[in-house]
Each structure stands twice: as C-alpha cells, then as structure tokens.
C-alpha cells in the first residue's frame, strides 16, 4: 500500500497544476455547503445580534420590518417617521432612554445618521481618532466609511442631494469630520453620524443665512414695521462654521420635526413591560422588539437556505462527475503506462490500487482543505463574513 | 563467464498460440536457450517476435504446448502466478524504454519493487540499485527525470531497471531500435557486459542483422528453428 | 545537491499541523469593544451650569463631594458665550447640565449635549416665557414670514421663578445623588427662604413704585418688571461706552413719553452719562442682573444690594 501511495503521490506532484485544480474543485464542492452554512449563520447572527442589542424600537405604525431595517441597519425603506415630540414624550415617561435615529440622506454613498450622544455608549462605540460630536455641522465616520472615503479628522464631507435633478431641492451640506470610530463589524462602520439637528439642517429643515437686520438693499426686498422680506440674493450657508453657527435656526417647532425611529432602552424590565403596555393600542405608533422581527426574518432565510443547499449539492454532484471524467480520461492517456506495469508483472488489482491512491490522495487533500477551512470559518468566519456582508450591503 | 549453468532457461515444445481475435498464430516446434546464453530473435514484422517474448514471460498463455522459463512451467501457472514469476525472474528492456516521466532515475530503476508484494524495497535493494546505476554510468543522474536524459542515458536506465531484480532472464524487445549507431553499440555493450557479469540469460528481439554476429544463438522465427551461430 | 522530495506522509503531517495551529488560534477570545468616550459619567458627580445663578443654586444644595462648574470666563456674558468644541465636550462629561430655559445660552441650541442629563430649570415654572420687545420678523424663500424671536431669558430676576428653578435643581440633584437627598433638601429650604425674602422686598417695592416708569439701559429686566408690576422701558445702552447723540435722542424721546426718574443699569455707567442723566432728572440705579459671577459676594448679596439700591433710590427704605 505504501508503494501505491508513493507512486500516486509522485504522479500527482509531477502534474501539480492538474492536481491542484482537481483538489481545489473538490475542496469547493466539499467546502461550499460549509461556507454556505457559515454564511447563513453569520448573516442571521449578524442581523440577530444587532437586533438583540436593541431592546425596543419606537416608530410609526406600519411595517415593523421596514422600521427595524431602517433604524438598525440604516437601509432606507421609506418608513414613515415619527416626531421629536414622540421621543421627548417617551423621555418624559421616565421609563426608558429614548435615542432618536434620523436616516434619509446619504453622504458620498454612506448613510447619514442623525442621532444623540446616547447612541455611542449604547452601541459601545469608541473613537479611534479625533473626538466625539460637539457642535452642529460636525460628523463622525464609521471605520469602513472613513477608510473608503480616505477621510480623517479635519477633513470635510458633503452630504448628497436627496434627488439629483431637483434644482429647487436641498443643497448639500458640508460636514466637518471630527472623529473616526473603531471598527464594530456592523452597520455602524459604514455610517456617517451627525447630531440630530445637523441631519435636519442637511434635509433643509433648518438653515443659516446672513443677518437680515443688517443686510444691504440688494438683498432686502422690503422692510416694514419689524418685518424684513429678503430676495433670492440672500446668502444661505452650506456649511456650519464657528463664524456662522449662531445664524442657523429652525422654523416652526422642532419637536414636530421628523425622527425615523427611536431606540428605546427601558430602565428595567418592569419599565419595559409598562412601556409596551402603553403602546399596545397606540393608533399611529408602534413599539417593536427588533429581535422578534429579525427572528421571523431569519426563519424565512432558513427556508431559502434549504433550497439553496439542494442547488449546491446538485452543483457538487456535477463537480464529482467531472472529476471522475477527468480521472477516466487521464487513465486512458496513461494506457501505455498500464501496459508497461502489466508487462513488468503488476496485477490489475495493484494497478487499481495505484490509481485509487491518486484519487484518495486528492480527495483526502480536498477534505483536509475543506476541513481546515471549516475550522477557520467556525472561529473567524462570523467576523469575516459580517464584514463581507457589511461591505456588500 | 565460467561456472554458469548450461541448463535451458527458455524451453518451448509444441507450442501453439493464437490471438482471440484471430488473424495471427504462432507455432513453435522446439526452442531452447541455455542459461547464460546471449540470444537474438529475428524475423520480419508480424512474424511473432513480441508474441514469443510474451509467451516466454507468461504475459500470454499458449493454446497448447509447453513453455518453461527458468525451469518453471509458465504455461501451467495462474495469472497471478505468472505475474509473480515474471516480476521476480524476468527483466524487460523495451524499445521505447517506457520510463515513467514522473519518477526520477533512481525511482525508475526501483520501479519493479513497487509493483508487486513479492519484491520488498529495502536499504540493500536501494544500495544495489545505486551500484547498478553507477556501473551503468548513471551515478550523477539519479535525481534527474527521464526527459532530462539523452536517448542513450534513458536506455541505460531501462537496462538498470531490467537488472535491478537480479532476474535470471532479460527479454529485450528491440532495445536499440531508437538509438543512433554509436549509442546503439554502446548500449549493447553495456547490456552484454551486465548480463555476462550477472550470468543473466539475454534474449533480444532485433531487426538489425548487422548485430547478429554478437550473439551466440539466433532464433529465426520464420523457420521456427534455432540456428546455431 | 538536491534535497529529498517530500513523501506523502510528510506532506500530510505538515497540513495537519497547520490545521492544529489554526484551531489553537481560533480558541483565543475576541476582545470586547471599549465604550465610547465623551459622554461617560465621571465617578465624582459634576454639575455644570450655563449661568451664575444656577451654579449658585447648585452650590447651595449639592453635597460636598459634588463638583459644581460654571466654566464661562469672567467678563463674558454667559447668555452669549460661544464655547469652543473642547468646552462643549467638557459639558458632555457632566453628570448634570443645568440650563436656564427661555432660549438662554444660544450655544446650547447648536452644541451636542447629552439629552438625558439636561435640566431645563425654568420649564414649567411659567405658562409662557416673556418675549423681548424688539423681535424682527423676516421673510425669505417660500416659507413665509417668521421671526428669530428672542425670548426674554433673565428669569431669575423673578425671585419666585428663581425659587422654582432652584427646586428643579434640587429634584435633579436628588435623582442624581439619592444618598444626599436630605442635605439637598435642607440646602434648598434655606435657599428658598432667602429667595422668597428678596421676593417679598421686591413686591413691596413694586407696590411702592406704582405706575412710576423706570428706564433700563438694556432689555434684561422683563421678568423683574412683570413679576413686581414695575413699568420698565428699555434702551440699548452700554454702561462703559459714551452715549452718542442718537442715544440721547432716544433717551429724550422716552422721557417725553414716560416721565421716568430712575434708570436701571446692569453696571455703573460712565460718570458723564450719569451726570447727563441727572441733568434730565434721571437718577441712575445699578441693578446687576447677576448672570455672571460677581467680582465680590455671591448671587444673594448681589441681588440684595440691587434691591437695597432700588429701595434707597425710591425711598421705600432708608439708604444704608
């Protein structure tokens, strides 16, 4: 047996390209279900872990999945917003901490997320460079966003207009990068975080302009008893700076301004129960448990995964058939070698043993590669795949 | 060489062989080759030279008659028996050398030891193989692949492979057919030298009548009668 | 000399060892993420205030191990202070941030502060805040006219409102440091008594003044006027600057409209200004709104001195 393995090994080593290709294709065939299962688990775990880390979510009545996806994963789903008054009202109940989340705009391809300071300790986010938000007009970048954009503290970043061809729409707002977050292997890595009010300014709900009380006649249309009407020449600022920050203001009552959702962190279990009770019959608001929503989503993924497995096994079978075909053709080409072996005195069984050893070595190598890959995936796969999923999302 | 036995190493009597698909048959009335003899088998193409070698080595079995090689009735052995007998008793040198490209020179020489459980590859066999290689001028080429060797060097490797099991009989099927004249004689001289040194009987199929005077016995398949040189 | 080629056994051994190494590394735990900085509460309670009165109230009630911080530099009006980013970050580290309310300290409307730790002390102490007299409405774009309206924000000049603000501070301190509930309550009791004493004096003053109008150098006495029924007409004059002709015209116009004989100034005006006012029959009374830390004394002594000067000037009480 040793001699058969030796001859098989020498043959495979000599034809290393062919051997490598066959081994790799077999490894893929064996490893694909492992990768798929690991990916599925990583995806589900990635979704679930973020959802489980969020006790409750307050939003407008409607699709709970859209609410969760938008508030937790910053994917725009067009869910109807609630208002700042909802968040303030929640705080006033003194049962939970309410963390507002405002999504809707992008900044160079990355979601702009308006929130409060409470968001960062809640998500256990830490700065790796620079500092946290201190003033309106500033932004903090997630690790992936910073790397992709090549930005750091001191740089500037423009928000993207909400619609490209809306000439009467909101101008981009120039944000000042003040900090970069450490990687957290979640949606936060790809977000641009701003103060909630900055998000509102970026959406055009607040603005800053030159002082009308001292504005020249080229800007003022008319002045009449304490009312000044300005024309289009009035300079509106597209950047919040130390010099003009006090000119920024909001029209109307800011408590009526939109908030996509509020993360609700009950003070304790009893408070959480009381809160859920208060929203059970709410007509226009819903208080959802993200973990429950994502769990039902994962069940759907699980069903799809089963179908995918059938496809993978079919592909695997085709790979196996191709492998056998390659081996058979290879042996045909080695007919003279087989004849020589026979003439020298080798039995058919021994010849089969040698050929079989080649297959066994290749299959063994594939199993080993797939096995090592599986072990590594089991240890690190979740992290890698979460990053991959995050980059691909 | 003195002292070697003059007993027949090859003995065929009343042998009839026909291929299953028909079309060719070989009949041998009587053929003996004594031990230690350097014999040549001649005949036109299709006369059955390779078939004769196959019968002697047990690769083929006659329809009738007796085939005795190195004192063993090969025609009476089972397939397994004939394989076992062949690999332990007979060495082959092929016209196309039939070396394995994926093995180096040393492994090619030792190849027969990997093909049959009867042969055990151990340190003394390796040592013998190295010595054989050295005798054939291959000592510096042991790690090379056949494609890195000249024709003559490859033939010498084939000869070494045939001799490594210390066979009683070497069957060479046109071993110099692919060599140029200078290399051909060199290879032959080496083969003759090694066979004589080991008292190994040599039966060589050849088309080259110019070589016949170097053989003690000529087997003419056309006449199927041994003709004394 | 060529090295011996690896045998199958050796190759398998190498691969297995690689697998074992991978498993070994895989057994190491992932490190936990470290919480975000900037909004963590310190081990020692720290109370930051946006103006001096609130920091005074907090100091009167907070336990000794709490740190009360009023970081506005001297000479800077806290209402219009523009802190740097680092100053704003310092506020983020506070256990409590005492805001006045009524739009006081505009910087709090654009700085990023931890909402859960903000205490808007004047909220709920009145039905509505007072507005300043001059708020300019302007119109640009399609939204229509709107005002950057200024609320009057010196709420503590209404001493009952000040006591209400102090009670908010008390509640916030007790929530933050429940173990100091008793000492905080005691501190509030004495503070409230002091504030309400001043309130009584001002009420008497208001009654004594009746309809007699007063002038004021700046529109910062709205709550004083409203709470104590004092009629105050405000100008925009700086105590440390000479009044120009336009200023005097404005003064004269006001005097013509309302025959005021007293004028409140946040700080002593220039001697020349005082003299010219006297020529017009107007007596200067310094009434420090006490929004910033005083050079001497504290909030109570400053307010008490304010009231005493008013009492003296108006003859309600003898001058000391």
Higher pLDDT pick, A229 / B216: B216
Distances (CA, A) of A103 to A73, A78, A106, A186, A256: 10, 10, 8, 16, 16
Neighbours of B193 (CB within 10 A): 13
Q: Residues A193-206: pLDDT tens digits?
A: 999 999 999 998 88
- Of the candidates C16, C82, C112, the beta carbon closest to that of A133 is on C112
CA angle B4, B8, B11 (to 5 degrees): 160
Among A114-118, A160-164, A370-374, B119-123, name the most confident range.
A114-118
Q: Is the pLDDT of residue A392 over 60?
A: no
CB contact under 8 A, A344 and B111: yes
- List all residues 6 or more positions away from C56 whose beta carbon is below 8 Å from its beta carbon: C298, C299, C300
Asked if A255 reaches chain C (Cβ–Cβ under 8 Å), the answer is no
Residue A45 with chain C: CB contacts under 8 Å:
none
pLDDT for A234 equals: 65
List the 355-384 stretch of A: residues with Cβ below 8 A of C.
Answer: 361, 364-365, 368, 371-372, 375-376, 378-380, 383
Going by C-alpha positions, the residue among A372, A379, A381 that lies closest to residue C28 is A379
Query: Tell me, what DSSP letter sits at residue A98?
Result: E
Q: Is the pLDDT of residue B62 over 80?
A: yes
Residue C139: which H helix or E strand, with range? strand C137-139
ipTM confidence score: 0.83
CB contact under 8 A, A345 and B88: yes
Q: What distance lies between CA A308 and its chain's CA centroid?
A: 22
The answer to whether A378 and C26 are in contact (CB under 8 A) is yes
The mean per-residue pLDDT over the stretch A96-100 comes to: 94
pLDDT for C18 equals: 57
Q: Distance (Å, rounded) from C-alpha A309 to C-alpha A312?
A: 5
CB contact under 8 A, A340 and B80: no
Q: Is the pLDDT of residue A250 over 60?
A: yes
Asked if A285 reaches chain B (Cβ–Cβ under 8 Å), the answer is no
Output the 3-class SS for A53-82: CCCEEEEECCCHHHHHHHHHHCCCCCCCCE
pLDDT for C145 equals: 44
Q: Distance (Å, rounded) from C-alpha C226 to C-alpha C202?
A: 12
Q: Phi/psi of residue A201, each to 5°?
A: -65, -45
pLDDT for C41 equals: 44
List the 12-31 stretch of A: residues with Cβ below 8 A of B.
Answer: 13-15
Going by C-alpha positions, the residue among C85, C81, C55, C87 that lies closest to residue C68 is C55
Neighbours of B50 (CB within 10 A): 17
Q: Distance (Å, rounded) from C-alpha B111 to C-alpha A354?
A: 13
Asked if C35 reaches chain A (Cβ–Cβ under 8 Å), the answer is yes
Residue ranges, chain C, pLDDT below 70: 1-43, 133-149
The mean per-residue pLDDT over the stretch B72-89 comes to: 90
Numbers of helices and strands, H then E, in chain C: 9, 10
Q: Is the pLDDT of residue A143 over 50?
A: yes
Which value, to the nearest 10 degrees, does the dihedral of the CA atoms of residues B210, B216, B220, B224 take?
180
The mean per-residue pLDDT over the stretch B92-105 comes to: 90
Distances (CA, A) of A316 to A33, A41, C38: 9, 21, 53
Mean pLDDT of chain B: 86
Q: To the nearest whole percent, how much of chain B has pLDDT over 70? A: 95
Top residue of A31, A129, A133, A205 to mutate, by most chain C CBs within 10 Å, is A133
Confidence bin at B224 (pLDDT 50/70/90)? low
The mean per-residue pLDDT over the stretch A160-179 comes to: 75
Q: Distance (Å, rounded) from C-alpha C247 to C-alpha C144?
A: 34
- Of the candidates B88, B102, B111, the beta carbon closest to that of A14 is on B102
Q: CB-based burial of residue C87 (10 Å sphere; 0-12 exposed, 13-18 middle, 19+ buried)?
A: middle
Q: Distance (Å, rounded) from C-alpha C286 to C-alpha C282?
A: 13
Higher pLDDT pick, A382 / B226: A382
Higher pLDDT pick, C28 / A147: A147
CA nearest C175 in A: which residue?
Answer: A94
CA nearest C138 in A: which residue?
Answer: A228
The mean per-residue pLDDT over the stretch A328-332 comes to: 89
Asked if C132 reaches chain A (Cβ–Cβ under 8 Å), the answer is no
- Report the top-level CATH class of C200-314: alpha beta
CA distance A330 to chain B (A): 14
Residue A278: which H helix or E strand, with range? helix A269-279
The 10 Å CB-count burial string (b at 16+, else e) for A178-200 is: bbbbbbbbbbbbbbbbbbbbbbb
- For β-strands C146-147 and C137-139, DSSP reports them as antiparallel
CA distance C224 to chain A (A): 25
In terms of phi and psi (left: phi > 0; alpha: psi -120 to 50; beta: otherwise), the region of A293 is: alpha
Residue C134 with chain A: CB contacts under 8 Å:
226
Which other chains touch chain B, taking contact as 3+ CB pairs less than 8 Å apart?
A
Q: Distance (Å, rounded) from C-alpha B18 to C-alpha B205?
A: 20
Which other chains touch chain A, taking contact as 3+ CB pairs less than 8 Å apart?
B, C
Q: What distance lies between CA A44 and its chain's CA centroid?
A: 12
Distances (CA, A) of B122 to A350, B127, B140, B164: 19, 9, 21, 13
Q: Phi/psi of residue B133, each to 5°?
A: -60, -40
Q: Is the pLDDT of residue A289 over 50?
A: yes
CA distance C314 to chain A (A): 35
Query: Tell me, what DSSP letter sits at residue A124?
Result: T
Confidence bin at A212 (pLDDT 50/70/90)? low
User: What are the structural domains of chain B?
Assistant: 37-48+81-228 (3.40.50.300)
The CATH homologous superfamily to which domain C46-129+150-192 belongs is Nitrogenase molybdenum iron protein domain (3.40.50.1980)
Give chain B as a DSSP string: -TT---SEEEEEEEEEEE-TT-S-EEEEEEEEEETT-EEEEE--TTSSHHHHHHHHHTSS--SEEEEEETTEEGGGS-HHHHHHHHHHHEEEEETT----TTS-HHHHHTGGGGT-TTS---HHHHHHHHHHHHHTT-GGGTTS-GGGS-HHHHHHHHHHHHHTT--SEEEEESTTTTS-HHHHHHHHHHHHHHHHHTT-EEEEE-S-GGGGGG-SEEEETTTTEEEE-
Beta partners for residue C318, in sequence order = none
**Long-range interactions of C75-82: CB distance < 8 A, separation 24+:** C75/C292, C76/C292, C77/C291, C77/C292, C78/C50, C78/C51, C78/C52, C78/C104, C78/C105, C78/C291, C78/C292, C79/C51, C79/C104, C79/C105, C79/C106, C79/C153, C79/C291, C80/C106, C81/C105, C81/C107, C82/A242, C82/A245, C82/A246, C82/C107
Q: What 3-state class would DSSP assign to C3?
A: coil
Distances (CA, A) of C140 to A211, A241, A244, A359: 12, 22, 18, 81
CB contact under 8 A, A346 and B80: no
Reduced to 3 DSSP states, what percent helix, strand and coil does chain A have, rounded to the nearest 5? 55, 20, 25
**Long-range interactions of A329-334: CB distance < 8 A, separation 24+:** A330/A18, A331/A355
CB contact under 8 A, A132 and C116: no
Q: Tell me the count of A-B CB pairs closer than 8 A.
A: 54
CA distance A55 to chain C (A): 18
Confidence bin at A276 (pLDDT 50/70/90)? very high
Residue A230 with chain C: CB contacts under 8 Å:
138-140
Going by C-alpha positions, the residue among A136, A68, A139, A81 that lies closest to residue A106 is A139
Confidence bin at A252 (pLDDT 50/70/90)? confident
pLDDT for A33 equals: 76
pLDDT for C28 equals: 40
Among A332-336, B182-186, C119-123, C315-319, name the most confident range.
C119-123
Same fold across C46-129+150-192 and C200-314? yes
Q: Distance (Å, rounded) from C-alpha C230 to C-alpha B190?
A: 135
Residue B113 with chain A: CB contacts under 8 Å:
3
CA nearest A376 in C: which residue?
Answer: C22
Domain positions in chain C = 46-129+150-192, 200-314
């Amino acid at each position: 047996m040793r001699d058969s393995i030796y001859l098989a090994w020498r043959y495979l080593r000599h034809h290393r390209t062919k051997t490598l290709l066959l081994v790799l294709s077999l490894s893929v065939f064996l490893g694909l279900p492992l990768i798929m299962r690991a990916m599925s688990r990583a995806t589900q775990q990635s979704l679930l872990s973020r959802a489980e880390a969020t006790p409750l979510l307050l939003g407008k009545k409607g699709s709970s999945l859209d609410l969760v996806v938008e508030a937790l994963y910053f994917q725009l789903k067009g869910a109807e917003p609630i208002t700042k008054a909802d968040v303030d009202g929640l705080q006033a109940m003194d049962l939970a901490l309410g963390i507002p989340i405002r999504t809707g705009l992008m900044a160079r391809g990355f979601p702009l997320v308006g929130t409060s300071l409470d968001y960062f300790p809640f998500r256990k986010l830490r700065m790796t460079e620079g500092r946290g938000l201190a003033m309106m007009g500033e932004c903090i970048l997630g690790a992936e966003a910073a790397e992709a954009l090549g930005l750091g503290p001191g740089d500037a970043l423009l928000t993207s207009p909400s619609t490209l061809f809306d000439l009467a729409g909101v101008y981009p707002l120039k944000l000042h990068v003040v900090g970069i977050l450490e990687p957290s292997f979640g949606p936060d890595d790809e977000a641009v975080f701003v103060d909630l009010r900055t998000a509102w300014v970026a959406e055009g709900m607040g603005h800053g302009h030159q002082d009308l009380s001292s504005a020249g006649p080229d800007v003022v249309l008319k002045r009449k008893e304490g009312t000044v009407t300005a024309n289009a020449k009035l300079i509106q600022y597209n950047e919040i700076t130390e010099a003009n920050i006090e000119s920024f203001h909001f029209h109307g009552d800011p408590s009526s301004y939109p908030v996509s959702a509020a993360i609700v962190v009950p003070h304790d279990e009893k408070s959480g129960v009381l809160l859920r009770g208060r929203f059970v019959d709410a007509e226009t608001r819903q208080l959802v448990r993200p973990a429950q929503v994502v769990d039902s989503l994962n069940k759907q993924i699980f069903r799809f995964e089963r179908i995918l497995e059938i496809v993978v096994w079919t592909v695997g079978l085709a790979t196996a058939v191709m492998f056998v075909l390659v081996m058979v053709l290879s042996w045909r080409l080695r007919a003279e070698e087989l004849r020589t072996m026979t003439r020298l005195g080798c039995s058919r069984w021994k010849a089969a043993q040698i050929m079989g050893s080649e297959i066994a070595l290749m299959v063994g190598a594939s199993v080993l590669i797939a096995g090592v890959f599986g072990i590594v995936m089991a240890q690190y796969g979740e992290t890698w795949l979460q990053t991959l999923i995050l980059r691909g999302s | 060489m003195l002292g070697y036995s003059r007993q027949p190493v090859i003995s065929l009597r009343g042998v009839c062989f026909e291929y299953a698909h028909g079309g060719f048959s070989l009949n041998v009335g009587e053929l003996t080759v004594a031990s230690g003899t350097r014999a040549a088998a001649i005949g036109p193409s299709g006369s059955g030279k390779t078939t004769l070698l196959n019968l002697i080595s047990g690769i083929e079995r006659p329809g009738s008659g007796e085939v005795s090689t190195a004192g063993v009735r090969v025609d009476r052995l089972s397939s397994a028996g004939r394989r076992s007998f062949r690999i332990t008793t007979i060495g082959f040198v092929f016209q196309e050398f039939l070396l394995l490209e994926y093995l180096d020179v040393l492994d090619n020489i030792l190849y027969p030891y990997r093909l049959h459980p009867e042969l055990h590859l151990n340190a003394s066999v390796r040592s013998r193989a190295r010595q054989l290689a050295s005798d054939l001028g291959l000592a510096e080429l042991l790690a090379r692949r056949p494609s890195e060797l000249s024709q003559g060097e490859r033939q010498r490797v084939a000869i070494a492979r045939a001799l490594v099991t210390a066979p009683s009989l070497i069957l060479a099927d046109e071993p110099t057919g692919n060599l140029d004249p200078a290399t051909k004689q060199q290879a032959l001289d080496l083969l003759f030298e090694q066979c004589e040194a080991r008292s190994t009987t040599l039966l060589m199929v050849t088309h080259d009548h110019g070589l016949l005077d170097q053989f003690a016995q000529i087997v003419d398949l056309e006449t199927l009668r041994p003709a004394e040189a | 000399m060529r090295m011996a080629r690896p045998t199958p056994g050796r190759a398998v051994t190498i691969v297995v060892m690689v697998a074992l190494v991978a498993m070994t590394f895989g057994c190491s735990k992932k490190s936990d993420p470290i919480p975000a900085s900037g909004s963590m509460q310190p081990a020692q309670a720290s109370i930051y205030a946006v103006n001096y009165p609130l920091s005074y109230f907090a100091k009167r009630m907070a336990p000794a191990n709490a740190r009360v911080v009023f970081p506005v530099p001297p000479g800077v009006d806290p209402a219009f202070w523009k802190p740097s980013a680092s100053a704003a970050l310092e506020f983020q580290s506070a256990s409590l941030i005492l805001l006045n309310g009524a739009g006081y300290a505009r910087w709090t409307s654009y700085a990023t502060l931890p909402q859960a730790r903000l205490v808007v002390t004047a909220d709920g102490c009145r039905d509505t805040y007072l507005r300043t007299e001059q708020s300019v409405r302007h119109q640009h774009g399609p939204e229509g006219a709107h005002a950057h309206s200024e609320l009057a924000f010196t709420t503590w000049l209404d001493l009952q409102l000040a006591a209400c603000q102090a009670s908010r501070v008390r509640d916030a301190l007790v929530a933050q440091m429940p173990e100091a509930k008793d000492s905080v309550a005691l501190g509030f009791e004495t503070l409230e008594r002091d504030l309400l004493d001043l309130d009584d004096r001002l009420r008497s003053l208001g009654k004594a003044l009746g309809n007699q109008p007063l002038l004021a150098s700046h529109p910062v006495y709205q709550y004083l006027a409203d709470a104590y029924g004092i009629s105050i007409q405000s100008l925009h004059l700086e105590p440390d600057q000479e009044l120009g002709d336009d200023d005097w015209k404005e003064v004269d116009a006001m005097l013509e409209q309302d025959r005021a004989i007293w004028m409140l100034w946040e700080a002593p005006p220039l001697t020349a200004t005082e003299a010219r006012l006297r020529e017009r029959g107007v007596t200067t009374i310094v009434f420090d709104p006490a929004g910033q830390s005083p050079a001497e004394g504290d909030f109570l002594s400053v307010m008490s001195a304010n009231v005493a000067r008013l009492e003296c000037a108006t003859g309600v009480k003898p001058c000391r």
